[in-house]
Chain A
Amino acid sequence: MSGDPAAAGALVLAGVSIASRDGRNLVDRLDLTVLPGMVATVMGPSGIGKSTLLAYVAGFIDRRAFAAEGQVMIGHERIDAQPAEARHVGILFQDPVLFPHLSVAGNLLFGLPRGRWRSRAERRGKVSEALEQAGLAGFEDRDPATLSGGQKARVSLLRTLLAEPRALLLDEPFGKLDAALRADIRAFVFAHARERGLPALLVTHDAEDAEAAGGPVVALAGPGVRLPSG
């Protein structure tokens, strides 16, 4: 990687501070650059404000509960003032959050940009291709409630990626998976992020996740304290 990291579509946080309205400093002037294809990790125990940081980046922060400021950029574009739907920042939660009223294909079609694939056949084709590559060929018409935990996690990632995000936010997405599945899904998610050259920001309280991510690690240690490391 050479030259201006921003030009290559890095996710850049500059001077991001978040405080809860009851006066606790959760994040204090955080600077972080996540290069495309890299997975950066924010670590810390639960309740420390990790998810709140992701909510700020994605555009969901509850302004009545938190005061937040600082720049968020993708490449040279500043996105922190844009509404969530205009940011094109994909997010994965601890649960797969598949829409229970849509089939697997319906879920995947939801985020597929309309401008790029217009015809129904083309859109279905794109979905089938993605399922096949993920080892889920023929799953189009399945009810998401009937999938196994691992299958749900895969569909959830596919759905996010098909929406063509410019960055990926991972809110402890492996936290509820059992140990065997965990390594598997983690590798699946990281591989896809790298393959597509997406900057990814992972929050977790699990050191193993951070190690597997292989990128820079920021530890949020507690109110008002920040320990850069890694």
Chain B
Amino acid sequence: MLLRLAPAATLAVLAGPVVLGLAFTLLPAFGFLPALGGATFSLDGWRMLFAAPGFASALALTFGTGLATTLLALILAAGLCAAAAHRPGMARLRRLIMPLLASPPSGVALGFAFLAMPSGWLVRLLSPWATGWQVPPAEPVTVGDPLGASLVAALLLKEVPYLALMLFAASATVPVERLTAAARALGRGQATAWATVVFPQLYRQVRLPVFAVLAFSMSVVDVAIIVGPGNPPPLAVLATRWFKGYDLALYYPAAAAATLQFLLVVLAILLWLACERPIAALHRRWLARGSRSRAPGAAAEVAGALAGLLIVLGLLSLLAMLVWSFAGSWRFPAALPDHWQLALWRDEAGGAAALAGTSAGIGLAAVAIALVLTLACLENEQRHGLHPGVAVLWLIYLPLIVPQIAFLFGVQVLLIHAGLDGTPAAVVWAHLVFVLPFVFLSLADAYRALDPRYAMTAAAMGAGRWRVFLVVKLPLLARPILVAAAVGFAVSIAQYLPTLFAGAGRVATLTTEAVTLSSGGDRRILGLVAVLQTALPLAAYGLALAVPFLVFRRFRGMA
């Protein structure tokens, strides 16, 4: 009976905060915020927003970096998959992108900042023998450049692996080998065949993930604080600054900025959709002409090579933070520290353990709730023979497509009303909104694909539905369930804004600490925090793979 309520409960968890949060962000944007005495309609918030210095640049920056990141991420991820489709060496990259998928965007951004800054690792590796520099150059500005190029680069380190993973997953549902073989028989090269025949079919399936990337890149706050331009910053950072400030009058323009952020993302998605049709038509015309041009193949090869380079950069970023956390003195332009030390890990152990403990506790709680809801929904679906449609999929993606800033402020307003802001429960709930979609999406296919004859055989032997669920389905799905849990855990560790808002600034996690320290903190402590940020989710992935392997090692059929 309780099971029948699962879809409604899940929907309430997902859509409730988004819809209510949007509403309670929209109201202050138009002057209504009873807690501060705002009780009449007013456009002052919007006026203040439009009059803010650098507003126009902030707007252009938000649009430009978001669209550039999404377009480049899609092209590079496609290049990676095209290359992996016919090169076993590239297929091995799938394992190498694991650490990048697991680490929080803020952790990757911190590492990238050290890699790319004028006194960073890349310059050090080339100095002084190639550059002649004995001191870090003042020009050009690489991190925090006004055009947001470093922001785009840092985002790509996370988004290319993500979209590549989505494309890999979609590849399993398309007869990739037969399609490329057919196209090759018609005289197309391997990469050209993939780019022109396989990719269009995969694209349809990764459209929602692409929109999630678009929304995320346009409205990301933590990465933008770390490597983005500061003056003016992108819109979401501007709104966060105003919300976090002590000047309550700034709540109104902040709410207006958050609302505008939402509209921008909607606009960008509509723009993207509008471009799809003419591009698809051009593609069909190109195919119909029977062109044997090698250009698409060449482009795919270049994109694949660039994506490979990007992954190397990403892994170097993670390594850089590890090196810093053990560095003693490290002068420019030495490529490695002059001295190594363990003192930092010893001295900071207490504080680091507390941060890691809080982060892991929130993550585990959110994952546990997400797993129960997800399993209940999927089991309910099977018991009643339901086949959820596209609308349900959109609902699941809702929290990933509506910008966080656009509804988290409203959520905080509600939490304050309920006297719940700053409590662990509020933070767990805020994380759950983002953990649940990922847990659901990564488990649903495996759950639905389990051979129904296992459950039928068990039922025919007299096993009731709960016994079938507990003794047959759960063990058979142990691996995908644990992997989904690890994905959810990694998502929780990465959350910055939800922790900041629902925690009312009083709940410190590894990620909030990393962002706080990023402006001028000790690089070694920063390294330590970033290493832990990556280590926790990686450990979760490791456990998710190791536990079923150990438990079922006797059984070859479970491999």
Contact = CB atoms under 8 A, between A and B. Distances in A.
B72 interface: no
A60 B461 contact: no
Contact of A101 (B385, B457, B464, B555): B555
Contacts of B465: 85
A89 B471 CA distance: 20
B476 A100 contact: yes
Given A99-B454, A100-B476, A163 B460 contact: yes
A63 interface: yes
Contacts of A199: none
B475 A88 contact: no
A150 interface: no
Contact of B461 (A63, A111, A145): A111
Contacts of B387: 64
Interface of A: 58-60, 62-65, 83-91, 93, 95, 97-103, 110-111, 113, 143-146, 159-160, 163, 165, 169
B477 to A, nearest CB: 10
Contacts of A59: 459
Contact of A163 (B452, B462, B471, B476): B462
A113 B453 contact: no
Contacts of A87: 460
A91 B457 contact: yes
A89 B460 contact: yes
Contacts of B457: 91, 93, 97, 160
B460 A160 contact: yes
Given A95-B453, A97-B451, A84 B460 contact: yes
B277 interface: no
Interface centre among A91, A101, A103, A169, by most chain B C-beta atoms within 10 angstroms, is A101
**Nearest 9 Cβ contacts at the A-B interface:** A100-B557, A111-B461, A145-B557, A163-B461, A145-B556, A84-B459, A101-B475, A91-B460, A85-B459
A171 to B, nearest CB: 9
A95 B552 CA distance: 22
A223 B54 CA distance: 72
Q: Size class of B's contact patch?
A: 20 to 34
A103 B451 CA distance: 19
A160 B463 CA distance: 12
A147 to B, nearest CB: 10
Given A100-B557, A163-B461, A163-B462, A58 B456 contact: yes
Contact of A60 (B459, B471, B478, B556): B459
Interface of B: 385, 387, 451-454, 456-465, 471-472, 475-476, 478, 552, 554-558
A93 B452 CA distance: 11
B312 to A, nearest CB: 39
A143 B557 contact: yes
Contacts of A143: 554-557
15 contacts: A84-B460, A85-B462, A90-B461, A97-B451, A100-B557, A101-B478, A101-B555, A110-B458, A110-B461, A110-B471, A113-B462, A144-B555, A160-B461, A163-B460, A169-B460
Contacts, number: 85
Given A143-B554, A143-B555, A145-B555, A58 B458 contact: no
A88 B557 contact: no
A111 B462 contact: yes
A103 to B, nearest CB: 8
Given A91-B456, A91-B457, A101-B475, A85 B463 contact: yes
A86 B472 CA distance: 18
Contacts of B451: 97
Contacts of A110: 458, 461, 463, 471
A62 B453 contact: no
Given A62-B385, A145-B556, A97 B462 contact: no
A63 B385 contact: yes
B224 to A, nearest CB: 46
A127 B465 CA distance: 24
A57 to B, nearest CB: 10
Nearest to B555: A143
A88 B465 CA distance: 14
A63 to B, nearest CB: 7
Contacts of A60: 452, 456, 459
B453 A165 contact: no
B239 to A, nearest CB: 47
A111 B461 CA distance: 5
B464 to A, nearest CB: 5
Interface centre among B451, B457, B552, by most chain A C-beta atoms within 10 angstroms, is B457
A84 B456 CA distance: 8
Nearest to B385: A64
